[in-house]
Amino acid sequence: MFRLTESPRLGEFEREVLPHLDAAYNLARFLMRNDQDAEDVVQEASLRAFRFFENFRGENSRAWFLKIVRNTSFTALKKNRPEEMNVVFDEELHGAQTPTMDPGAAIDRVQDRQTVRAAIEQLPIEFREVVTLRELEGASYKEIADVAGVPIGTVMSRLARARNQLQTILSKTK
Amino acid sequence: MNHDEIRELLHAYADDELDLVSAREIKQHLQSCHDCRQATEQIRALSEALTSDAPAYRVPAHLRRNIRAALRREAKETERSFSPWMIFATGAACALVLFAFVFSQTRTSSGNAVVDQVIANHVRSLLAMHLVDVASSDQHTVKPWFDGKVDFAPDVHDFAMSGFPLIGGRLDYLNGKTAVALVYQRNKHPINIFILPASGAGDRSPTSSARRGYNIVSWTHREMNYWAVSDLNETELRNFVALLTQ
Protein backbone atom coordinates (compact mmCIF):
# COMPACT_ATOMS: atom_id res chain seq x y z
CA MET A 1 0.00 0.00 0.00
CA PHE A 2 2.81 2.40 0.77
CA ARG A 3 5.78 2.82 -1.51
CA LEU A 4 8.76 2.36 0.70
CA THR A 5 11.41 1.96 -1.94
CA GLU A 6 12.86 5.05 -3.53
CA SER A 7 11.33 6.07 -6.81
CA PRO A 8 13.24 4.54 -9.74
CA ARG A 9 13.11 7.88 -11.54
CA LEU A 10 14.83 9.56 -8.59
CA GLY A 11 17.43 6.80 -8.47
CA GLU A 12 18.22 7.24 -12.14
CA PHE A 13 18.36 11.01 -11.76
CA GLU A 14 20.78 10.67 -8.84
CA ARG A 15 23.03 8.44 -10.91
CA GLU A 16 22.87 10.43 -14.16
CA VAL A 17 22.65 14.06 -13.13
CA LEU A 18 23.79 14.58 -9.54
CA PRO A 19 27.43 13.67 -10.30
CA HIS A 20 27.50 16.99 -12.19
CA LEU A 21 26.44 19.05 -9.18
CA ASP A 22 29.96 20.43 -8.69
CA ALA A 23 30.13 21.55 -12.32
CA ALA A 24 26.65 23.06 -11.99
CA TYR A 25 27.59 25.01 -8.89
CA ASN A 26 30.86 26.18 -10.45
CA LEU A 27 29.07 27.53 -13.53
CA ALA A 28 26.31 29.18 -11.48
CA ARG A 29 28.86 30.68 -9.08
CA PHE A 30 30.83 32.34 -11.90
CA LEU A 31 27.67 33.55 -13.64
CA MET A 32 25.98 34.89 -10.48
CA ARG A 33 29.19 36.00 -8.73
CA ASN A 34 28.01 35.34 -5.18
CA ASP A 35 27.38 32.27 -3.01
CA GLN A 36 23.74 32.83 -2.12
CA ASP A 37 22.48 33.48 -5.65
CA ALA A 38 24.51 30.53 -6.95
CA GLU A 39 22.94 28.25 -4.32
CA ASP A 40 19.43 29.44 -5.20
CA VAL A 41 20.07 28.88 -8.89
CA VAL A 42 21.48 25.37 -8.44
CA GLN A 43 18.65 24.36 -6.12
CA GLU A 44 16.02 25.60 -8.56
CA ALA A 45 17.81 24.17 -11.59
CA SER A 46 18.09 20.74 -9.92
CA LEU A 47 14.35 20.61 -9.30
CA ARG A 48 13.59 21.81 -12.83
CA ALA A 49 15.97 19.20 -14.24
CA PHE A 50 14.21 16.50 -12.21
CA ARG A 51 10.80 17.63 -13.52
CA PHE A 52 12.06 17.61 -17.12
CA PHE A 53 14.10 14.46 -16.66
CA GLU A 54 11.78 12.36 -18.84
CA ASN A 55 12.65 14.67 -21.76
CA PHE A 56 16.32 13.84 -21.35
CA ARG A 57 17.33 11.48 -24.13
CA GLY A 58 20.41 10.10 -22.48
CA GLU A 59 23.05 11.72 -24.68
CA ASN A 60 25.15 13.96 -22.49
CA SER A 61 23.74 14.49 -19.04
CA ARG A 62 26.37 17.06 -18.07
CA ALA A 63 25.64 19.40 -21.01
CA TRP A 64 21.91 18.85 -20.55
CA PHE A 65 22.03 19.77 -16.85
CA LEU A 66 24.44 22.68 -17.33
CA LYS A 67 22.15 24.14 -19.98
CA ILE A 68 19.33 24.23 -17.43
CA VAL A 69 21.67 25.79 -14.84
CA ARG A 70 22.81 28.36 -17.40
CA ASN A 71 19.26 29.29 -18.40
CA THR A 72 18.14 29.49 -14.77
CA SER A 73 21.09 31.82 -14.04
CA PHE A 74 20.31 34.07 -17.00
CA THR A 75 16.62 34.25 -16.05
CA ALA A 76 17.53 35.23 -12.48
CA LEU A 77 19.99 37.85 -13.70
CA LYS A 78 17.52 39.36 -16.19
CA LYS A 79 14.96 39.63 -13.43
CA ASN A 80 17.12 40.86 -10.56
CA ARG A 81 20.16 42.48 -12.15
CA PRO A 82 19.18 43.50 -15.69
CA GLU A 83 22.01 46.05 -15.83
CA GLU A 84 24.49 43.15 -16.00
CA MET A 85 22.74 41.77 -19.06
CA ASN A 86 22.92 44.93 -21.16
CA VAL A 87 26.21 43.94 -22.66
CA VAL A 88 25.06 42.42 -25.92
CA PHE A 89 27.83 40.80 -27.84
CA ASP A 90 27.47 41.18 -31.55
CA GLU A 91 30.15 38.95 -32.95
CA GLU A 92 30.34 41.01 -36.16
CA LEU A 93 30.53 44.31 -34.33
CA HIS A 94 33.51 43.13 -32.35
CA GLY A 95 35.21 42.21 -35.59
CA ALA A 96 35.56 38.88 -37.29
CA GLN A 97 39.30 38.98 -36.80
CA THR A 98 40.28 36.98 -33.79
CA PRO A 99 42.41 39.18 -31.59
CA THR A 100 45.84 37.92 -30.82
CA MET A 101 47.32 37.96 -27.37
CA ASP A 102 49.68 40.70 -26.43
CA PRO A 103 53.10 39.01 -26.33
CA GLY A 104 54.22 41.47 -23.65
CA ALA A 105 51.43 40.25 -21.38
CA ALA A 106 52.83 36.75 -20.94
CA ILE A 107 51.92 35.07 -17.71
CA ASP A 108 55.10 33.84 -16.16
CA ARG A 109 54.02 32.69 -12.77
CA VAL A 110 51.42 30.42 -11.32
CA GLN A 111 48.37 32.40 -10.28
CA ASP A 112 46.74 31.83 -6.93
CA ARG A 113 43.13 30.77 -6.73
CA GLN A 114 41.64 34.06 -5.58
CA THR A 115 43.43 36.05 -8.29
CA VAL A 116 42.17 33.71 -10.99
CA ARG A 117 38.62 33.75 -9.66
CA ALA A 118 38.59 37.53 -9.42
CA ALA A 119 39.99 37.85 -12.95
CA ILE A 120 37.30 35.60 -14.42
CA GLU A 121 34.63 37.55 -12.55
CA GLN A 122 35.72 40.75 -14.26
CA LEU A 123 34.83 39.35 -17.68
CA PRO A 124 31.46 40.05 -19.35
CA ILE A 125 28.96 37.26 -18.77
CA GLU A 126 29.27 35.64 -22.23
CA PHE A 127 33.02 35.38 -21.69
CA ARG A 128 32.73 34.09 -18.11
CA GLU A 129 30.51 31.36 -19.43
CA VAL A 130 32.86 30.03 -22.11
CA VAL A 131 35.98 30.35 -19.94
CA THR A 132 34.38 28.54 -17.00
CA LEU A 133 33.11 25.72 -19.19
CA ARG A 134 36.31 25.33 -21.20
CA GLU A 135 39.11 26.03 -18.76
CA LEU A 136 37.60 24.85 -15.48
CA GLU A 137 35.23 22.09 -16.62
CA GLY A 138 37.14 20.94 -19.70
CA ALA A 139 34.01 21.04 -21.85
CA SER A 140 34.36 20.52 -25.61
CA TYR A 141 33.36 23.29 -28.05
CA LYS A 142 30.31 21.22 -28.97
CA GLU A 143 29.23 20.97 -25.33
CA ILE A 144 29.75 24.70 -24.78
CA ALA A 145 27.72 25.42 -27.93
CA ASP A 146 24.90 23.23 -26.58
CA VAL A 147 24.95 24.82 -23.12
CA ALA A 148 25.15 28.43 -24.34
CA GLY A 149 22.86 27.88 -27.31
CA VAL A 150 25.24 29.41 -29.89
CA PRO A 151 27.07 28.00 -32.95
CA ILE A 152 30.50 26.41 -32.49
CA GLY A 153 32.10 29.26 -34.46
CA THR A 154 30.78 31.72 -31.89
CA VAL A 155 32.20 29.58 -29.07
CA MET A 156 35.60 29.72 -30.75
CA SER A 157 35.64 33.49 -31.25
CA ARG A 158 34.26 34.21 -27.76
CA LEU A 159 36.84 31.96 -26.21
CA ALA A 160 39.63 33.73 -28.11
CA ARG A 161 38.47 37.16 -26.96
CA ALA A 162 37.79 35.97 -23.43
CA ARG A 163 41.31 34.55 -23.12
CA ASN A 164 42.77 37.73 -24.52
CA GLN A 165 40.97 39.82 -21.89
CA LEU A 166 41.93 37.41 -19.12
CA GLN A 167 45.54 37.57 -20.18
CA THR A 168 45.44 41.34 -19.93
CA ILE A 169 43.73 41.30 -16.51
CA LEU A 170 46.09 38.70 -15.07
CA SER A 171 49.22 40.41 -16.38
CA LYS A 172 48.12 43.58 -14.56
CA THR A 173 47.83 41.75 -11.26
CA LYS A 174 51.42 40.57 -11.38
CA MET B 1 45.55 28.12 -45.35
CA ASN B 2 47.48 31.34 -45.11
CA HIS B 3 48.92 32.91 -41.96
CA ASP B 4 45.78 34.93 -41.09
CA GLU B 5 43.46 31.96 -41.52
CA ILE B 6 45.70 29.87 -39.31
CA ARG B 7 45.83 32.63 -36.73
CA GLU B 8 42.03 32.33 -36.46
CA LEU B 9 42.27 28.65 -35.65
CA LEU B 10 45.08 28.67 -33.09
CA HIS B 11 42.69 28.47 -30.11
CA ALA B 12 40.89 25.51 -31.61
CA TYR B 13 44.27 23.96 -32.37
CA ALA B 14 45.53 24.45 -28.82
CA ASP B 15 42.24 23.00 -27.53
CA ASP B 16 42.53 19.88 -29.74
CA GLU B 17 39.24 20.76 -31.41
CA LEU B 18 40.41 20.65 -35.05
CA ASP B 19 40.08 17.90 -37.58
CA LEU B 20 43.27 15.94 -38.29
CA VAL B 21 43.95 17.54 -41.67
CA SER B 22 43.74 21.12 -40.40
CA ALA B 23 45.68 20.25 -37.27
CA ARG B 24 48.51 18.78 -39.36
CA GLU B 25 48.58 21.85 -41.58
CA ILE B 26 48.82 24.17 -38.57
CA LYS B 27 51.51 22.05 -36.97
CA GLN B 28 53.60 22.42 -40.12
CA HIS B 29 53.00 26.18 -40.18
CA LEU B 30 54.11 26.52 -36.54
CA GLN B 31 57.51 25.06 -37.40
CA SER B 32 58.21 27.99 -39.69
CA CYS B 33 56.20 30.81 -38.01
CA HIS B 34 57.60 32.18 -34.78
CA ASP B 35 54.59 34.46 -34.06
CA CYS B 36 52.05 31.67 -34.32
CA ARG B 37 54.21 29.35 -32.25
CA GLN B 38 54.48 31.93 -29.50
CA ALA B 39 50.73 32.63 -29.60
CA THR B 40 49.96 28.93 -29.23
CA GLU B 41 52.34 28.62 -26.29
CA GLN B 42 50.63 31.58 -24.62
CA ILE B 43 47.20 30.02 -24.98
CA ARG B 44 48.49 26.87 -23.31
CA ALA B 45 50.31 28.82 -20.61
CA LEU B 46 47.12 30.71 -19.80
CA SER B 47 45.14 27.47 -19.50
CA GLU B 48 47.74 26.11 -17.12
CA ALA B 49 47.84 29.31 -15.07
CA LEU B 50 44.03 29.23 -14.82
CA THR B 51 43.79 25.69 -13.55
CA SER B 52 47.01 25.21 -11.57
CA ASP B 53 45.44 26.14 -8.24
CA ALA B 54 42.01 24.56 -8.75
CA PRO B 55 39.97 27.76 -8.90
CA ALA B 56 36.73 25.89 -9.67
CA TYR B 57 34.05 26.16 -6.99
CA ARG B 58 32.71 22.99 -5.42
CA VAL B 59 29.14 22.58 -4.28
CA PRO B 60 28.80 23.20 -0.51
CA ALA B 61 27.82 20.10 1.50
CA HIS B 62 24.68 21.72 2.94
CA LEU B 63 23.44 22.59 -0.55
CA ARG B 64 23.97 19.03 -1.75
CA ARG B 65 21.97 17.77 1.24
CA ASN B 66 19.17 20.28 0.67
CA ILE B 67 18.91 19.37 -2.99
CA ARG B 68 18.72 15.65 -2.28
CA ALA B 69 16.02 16.24 0.34
CA ALA B 70 14.04 18.50 -2.01
CA LEU B 71 14.26 15.92 -4.79
CA ARG B 72 13.04 13.18 -2.49
CA ARG B 73 10.05 15.30 -1.46
CA GLU B 74 9.33 16.10 -5.08
CA ALA B 75 9.54 12.43 -6.07
CA LYS B 76 7.15 11.44 -3.30
CA GLU B 77 4.65 14.14 -4.17
CA THR B 78 4.54 13.20 -7.84
CA GLU B 79 4.13 9.55 -7.00
CA ARG B 80 1.44 10.24 -4.47
CA SER B 81 -0.58 12.25 -6.93
CA PHE B 82 -0.66 9.26 -9.28
CA SER B 83 -1.79 6.73 -6.72
CA PRO B 84 -5.39 6.71 -5.49
CA TRP B 85 -4.23 4.29 -2.81
CA MET B 86 -1.95 6.92 -1.39
CA ILE B 87 -4.78 9.43 -1.12
CA PHE B 88 -6.96 6.87 0.59
CA ALA B 89 -4.16 5.78 2.89
CA THR B 90 -3.33 9.34 3.83
CA GLY B 91 -6.95 10.03 4.68
CA ALA B 92 -7.18 6.87 6.74
CA ALA B 93 -3.95 7.67 8.53
CA CYS B 94 -5.21 11.20 9.29
CA ALA B 95 -8.30 9.76 10.89
CA LEU B 96 -6.16 7.36 12.90
CA VAL B 97 -3.89 10.09 14.20
CA LEU B 98 -6.89 12.12 15.27
CA PHE B 99 -8.33 9.03 16.90
CA ALA B 100 -5.03 8.23 18.59
CA PHE B 101 -4.79 11.77 19.87
CA VAL B 102 -8.32 11.80 21.32
CA PHE B 103 -7.78 8.32 22.69
CA SER B 104 -4.44 9.16 24.34
CA GLN B 105 -6.01 12.19 26.03
CA THR B 106 -8.39 9.87 27.82
CA ARG B 107 -5.78 7.33 28.95
CA THR B 108 -4.28 7.39 32.38
CA SER B 109 -2.13 4.28 32.56
CA SER B 110 1.45 5.24 31.63
CA GLY B 111 2.20 1.88 29.97
CA ASN B 112 -0.80 2.30 27.73
CA ALA B 113 0.15 5.91 27.07
CA VAL B 114 3.52 4.78 25.69
CA VAL B 115 1.81 2.19 23.50
CA ASP B 116 -0.50 4.91 22.21
CA GLN B 117 2.50 7.05 21.42
CA VAL B 118 4.12 4.11 19.65
CA ILE B 119 1.06 3.73 17.44
CA ALA B 120 0.78 7.46 16.85
CA ASN B 121 4.46 7.61 15.89
CA HIS B 122 4.04 4.65 13.58
CA VAL B 123 1.07 6.24 11.85
CA ARG B 124 2.74 9.64 11.68
CA SER B 125 5.83 8.11 10.08
CA LEU B 126 3.64 6.80 7.27
CA LEU B 127 1.45 9.87 7.05
CA ALA B 128 4.17 12.46 6.72
CA MET B 129 5.99 10.28 4.19
CA HIS B 130 8.81 10.52 6.66
CA LEU B 131 9.47 6.87 7.26
CA VAL B 132 13.25 7.07 7.34
CA ASP B 133 15.99 9.65 7.85
CA VAL B 134 18.60 7.23 6.62
CA ALA B 135 17.40 4.95 3.83
CA SER B 136 19.55 1.88 3.52
CA SER B 137 19.27 -1.86 3.66
CA ASP B 138 22.85 -1.99 4.91
CA GLN B 139 23.10 -2.36 8.66
CA HIS B 140 26.64 -0.91 8.48
CA THR B 141 25.17 2.31 7.09
CA VAL B 142 22.18 2.54 9.40
CA LYS B 143 23.88 1.77 12.71
CA PRO B 144 26.67 4.40 12.45
CA TRP B 145 24.11 6.99 11.33
CA PHE B 146 22.82 7.09 14.90
CA ASP B 147 26.29 7.83 16.32
CA GLY B 148 26.18 11.13 18.14
CA LYS B 149 22.43 11.49 17.62
CA VAL B 150 21.40 9.27 20.53
CA ASP B 151 23.38 8.28 23.62
CA PHE B 152 23.08 4.56 23.02
CA ALA B 153 24.05 2.22 20.19
CA PRO B 154 21.11 0.20 18.87
CA ASP B 155 21.56 -3.29 17.44
CA VAL B 156 20.85 -3.13 13.72
CA HIS B 157 20.55 -6.22 11.53
CA ASP B 158 19.09 -6.78 8.11
CA PHE B 159 16.69 -9.75 7.86
CA ALA B 160 16.12 -9.68 4.11
CA MET B 161 17.03 -13.38 3.92
CA SER B 162 14.11 -14.15 6.21
CA GLY B 163 11.72 -11.87 4.31
CA PHE B 164 12.04 -8.81 6.55
CA PRO B 165 14.37 -6.41 4.71
CA LEU B 166 15.75 -3.42 6.57
CA ILE B 167 14.50 -0.16 5.00
CA GLY B 168 16.35 2.35 7.14
CA GLY B 169 16.30 4.27 10.38
CA ARG B 170 14.91 7.46 11.81
CA LEU B 171 15.02 9.53 14.97
CA ASP B 172 11.71 9.72 16.76
CA TYR B 173 10.35 11.00 20.02
CA LEU B 174 8.90 8.66 22.59
CA ASN B 175 7.94 9.16 26.21
CA GLY B 176 9.71 12.53 26.27
CA LYS B 177 12.99 11.07 24.99
CA THR B 178 14.75 10.77 21.66
CA ALA B 179 14.21 7.23 20.43
CA VAL B 180 15.66 5.17 17.65
CA ALA B 181 13.17 3.92 15.06
CA LEU B 182 14.28 1.11 12.75
CA VAL B 183 12.08 0.41 9.76
CA TYR B 184 11.60 -3.01 8.24
CA GLN B 185 9.19 -4.26 5.66
CA ARG B 186 7.20 -7.47 5.26
CA ASN B 187 5.70 -7.64 1.78
CA LYS B 188 3.89 -4.29 1.66
CA HIS B 189 3.64 -3.86 5.43
CA PRO B 190 6.01 -1.40 7.09
CA ILE B 191 7.23 -2.32 10.56
CA ASN B 192 8.56 0.26 12.99
CA ILE B 193 10.85 -0.87 15.81
CA PHE B 194 11.19 1.76 18.53
CA ILE B 195 14.12 1.50 20.91
CA LEU B 196 14.69 3.38 24.18
CA PRO B 197 17.14 2.66 27.02
CA ALA B 198 15.58 1.15 30.15
CA SER B 199 18.29 1.60 32.78
CA GLY B 200 18.20 -1.00 35.51
CA ALA B 201 15.19 -2.87 34.12
CA GLY B 202 15.33 -6.65 33.91
CA ASP B 203 14.67 -8.57 30.73
CA ARG B 204 11.01 -8.96 29.83
CA SER B 205 9.84 -11.45 27.22
CA PRO B 206 7.77 -10.20 24.28
CA THR B 207 4.10 -9.55 24.91
CA SER B 208 1.56 -8.78 22.21
CA SER B 209 -1.30 -6.40 22.16
CA ALA B 210 -3.60 -5.09 19.47
CA ARG B 211 -4.90 -1.60 19.22
CA ARG B 212 -7.02 -0.08 16.45
CA GLY B 213 -5.94 -2.54 13.79
CA TYR B 214 -2.26 -2.41 14.69
CA ASN B 215 -0.31 -5.16 16.38
CA ILE B 216 2.26 -4.18 18.96
CA VAL B 217 4.87 -6.41 20.54
CA SER B 218 6.97 -5.00 23.38
CA TRP B 219 9.88 -6.46 25.29
CA THR B 220 12.95 -5.52 27.29
CA HIS B 221 16.36 -6.89 26.53
CA ARG B 222 19.74 -5.90 28.03
CA GLU B 223 18.32 -2.71 29.54
CA MET B 224 16.64 -1.63 26.33
CA ASN B 225 12.90 -1.31 25.78
CA TYR B 226 11.61 -2.37 22.36
CA TRP B 227 8.28 -1.84 20.66
CA ALA B 228 7.46 -3.41 17.31
CA VAL B 229 4.39 -2.00 15.62
CA SER B 230 2.79 -2.84 12.29
CA ASP B 231 -0.46 -3.57 10.53
CA LEU B 232 1.08 -6.97 9.85
CA ASN B 233 -0.77 -9.94 11.36
CA GLU B 234 0.22 -10.98 14.87
CA THR B 235 1.80 -14.31 13.94
CA GLU B 236 4.19 -12.82 11.41
CA LEU B 237 5.04 -9.92 13.71
CA ARG B 238 5.85 -12.40 16.52
CA ASN B 239 8.03 -14.37 14.09
CA PHE B 240 9.90 -11.20 13.26
CA VAL B 241 10.35 -10.34 16.94
CA ALA B 242 11.73 -13.85 17.45
CA LEU B 243 14.36 -13.07 14.79
CA LEU B 244 15.22 -9.78 16.47
CA THR B 245 15.63 -11.29 19.92
CA GLN B 246 17.69 -14.29 18.82
- Complete DSSP assignment for B135-192: E-S-HHHHHHHTBTTBSS------BGGGTB-EEEEEEEEETTEEEEEEEEEETTEEEE
Name the residue among B224, B218, B223, B225 with its Cα closest to residue B241.
B218
Looking at the fold, whether B131 and B214 belong to one and the same domain comes out as yes
CA distance A11 to chain B (A): 10
Looking at the fold, whether B99 and B46 belong to one and the same domain comes out as no
The number of angstroms, rounded, from the C-alpha of B229 to the middle of its chain's C-alpha atoms is 21
- Please report whether residue A1 resides in a domain: no
Looking at the fold, whether A122 and A152 belong to one and the same domain comes out as yes
- Please report whether residue B71 resides in a domain: no
CA-based end-to-end distance of chain B: 82
The answer on pLDDT for B125 being more than 80 is: no
Looking at the fold, whether A64 and A15 belong to one and the same domain comes out as yes
Looking at the fold, whether B30 and B103 belong to one and the same domain comes out as no
What is the C-alpha to C-alpha distance for residues A156 and A88, in angstroms, rounded to an integer? 17
- Please report whether residue A139 resides in a domain: yes
pLDDT digits (tens, 9 = 90+) for B217-243: 999 998 899 999 998 998 899 999 999
Q: A109 pLDDT band (50/70/90 cuts)?
A: low
**Which A positions 96-155 lie with beta carbon below 8 A of chain B?**
97-98, 100-101, 103, 106-107, 109-113, 116-117, 120, 131, 134-137, 140-141
- Please report whether residue A2 resides in a domain: no
Coil vs helix vs strand at B227: strand
Looking at the fold, whether A65 and A93 belong to one and the same domain comes out as no
Residues B45-58: what's their mean pLDDT? 87
Answer whether B85 sits within 8 Å of A1, measured CB to CB: yes
Looking at the fold, whether B137 and B45 belong to one and the same domain comes out as no
What is the domain extent for residue A71?
8-84
Strand partners, B210: B215
Task: Report ipTM for this prediction.
Answer: 0.84
- Please report whether residue B196 resides in a domain: yes
Looking at the fold, whether B113 and B229 belong to one and the same domain comes out as yes
Residues B34-50: what's their mean pLDDT? 92
Contact B154, B146 (CB under 8 A): yes
Looking at the fold, whether B209 and B133 belong to one and the same domain comes out as yes
CA distance B198 to chain A (A): 30
The answer on pLDDT for A4 being more than 60 is: no
Looking at the fold, whether B14 and B135 belong to one and the same domain comes out as no
Answer whether A43 sits within 8 Å of B8, measured CB to CB: no
The answer on pLDDT for A58 being more than 60 is: yes
CATH code for the domain of A156 = 1.10.10.10
Instruction: Supply the DSSP string of A119-154, one letter for each residue.
Output: HHHTS-HHHHHHHIIIIIT---HHHHHHHHTS-HHH
Contact B46, A168 (CB under 8 A): no
- Please report whether residue B124 resides in a domain: yes
The answer on pLDDT for A106 being more than 60 is: no
What is the C-alpha to C-alpha distance for residues A35 and B172, in angstroms, rounded to an integer? 34
pLDDT of amino acid A83:
81
Domain count, chain A: 2
Contact A161, A127 (CB under 8 A): yes
- Please report whether residue B16 resides in a domain: yes
Whole-model pTM: value is 0.57
Q: B79 pLDDT band (50/70/90 cuts)?
A: low
- Please report whether residue B61 resides in a domain: no
Phi-psi region of B61 (alpha: psi -120 to 50; beta: other; left: phi over 0): alpha
DSSP state of A84: G
Looking at the fold, whether A21 and A58 belong to one and the same domain comes out as yes
Looking at the fold, whether B29 and B123 belong to one and the same domain comes out as no
CA-based end-to-end distance of chain A: 66
What is the C-alpha to C-alpha distance for residues B181 and B121, in angstroms, rounded to an integer? 9
- Please report whether residue B125 resides in a domain: yes
Looking at the fold, whether A78 and A18 belong to one and the same domain comes out as yes
Backbone angles phi, psi at A111, to 5 degrees: -90, 145
**Residues of B with CB below 8 A from A99's CB?**
none
CATH code for the domain of B180 = 3.30.200.100
Looking at A38, A55, A84, which one is the last position of a domain? Answer: A84
Looking at the fold, whether B150 and B38 belong to one and the same domain comes out as no
With CA atoms as reference, the chain B residue closest to A49 would be B71
What is the domain extent for residue B16?
3-51
Looking at the fold, whether A76 and A93 belong to one and the same domain comes out as no
- Please report whether residue A58 resides in a domain: yes
Domain count, chain B: 2
Looking at the fold, whether B107 and B225 belong to one and the same domain comes out as yes
For residue B54, what are the CA distances in angstroms to A64, A111, B50?
24, 10, 8
Answer whether B50 sits within 8 Å of A131, measured CB to CB: yes
Quick one: what percent of chain B has pLDDT higher than 90? 37
Answer whether B7 sits within 8 Å of A26, measured CB to CB: no
Looking at the fold, whether A62 and A103 belong to one and the same domain comes out as no
